[in-house]
Every structure is written in structure tokens, then in C-alpha cells.
Amino acid sequence: MTTVVWANILLAIPFLIAVIGIPLWMTFKRPQTGPDHAEARTYLRTRVTLASALTRRAAARRARTLARNESQRVTASA
């Protein structure tokens, strides 16, 4: 191999070390932790609870209305 090839190899080594080493160093210095989804879970649980409560409330109101209408129908026909 000629001198130019050896010079290119010697110049490429520090760049390769930098390209590989700096991201590895950053990863080990500050490892990525998993995101905390506790607030999102609480929010979604609250939304589901509220929606089911509203659904139950609407169903109860509908049942009361139907019962009231039924009782009025019976007294009106009697």
C-alpha cells in the first residue's frame, strides 16, 4: 500500500472514533428512561368514569321519564 492510503487510514480513525464514540458516550452519560404515563392513565380513567356516570344518569332519567309517561297513560285511560 502506498503512503497516501496509510495517511487516509490514519486520518479516518479519529473520525470513526468520534462518529461512534460520541453517541455512545452521550447514551451512557444520560440513559433514556421510559416516559411516565401515570398522568395520562389518570386522565383517561377519569374520562371513562365520567362518561359511564353520565350514561348511567341518562339511562336512569330515561327510565324515570318512561315510568312517569306510563303511569300518566294508565290514569288517563282509566
Over the stretch 11-24, which tens digit does the pLDDT of each residue have?
Answer: 999 999 999 999 99
In 3-state terms the chain splits into helix, strand, coil percentages (rounded to 5) of 85, 0, 15
Instruction: Supply the mean pLDDT for the chain.
Output: 87
- Percent share of the chain, pLDDT over 70: 94
Report the range of poorest mean pLDDT among 20-24, 42-46, 63-67. 63-67
Q: What are phi and psi of 62, to 5 degrees?
A: -65, -40
List, for residues 25-39, the tens digit of each pLDDT value. Answer: 998 888 777 777 888
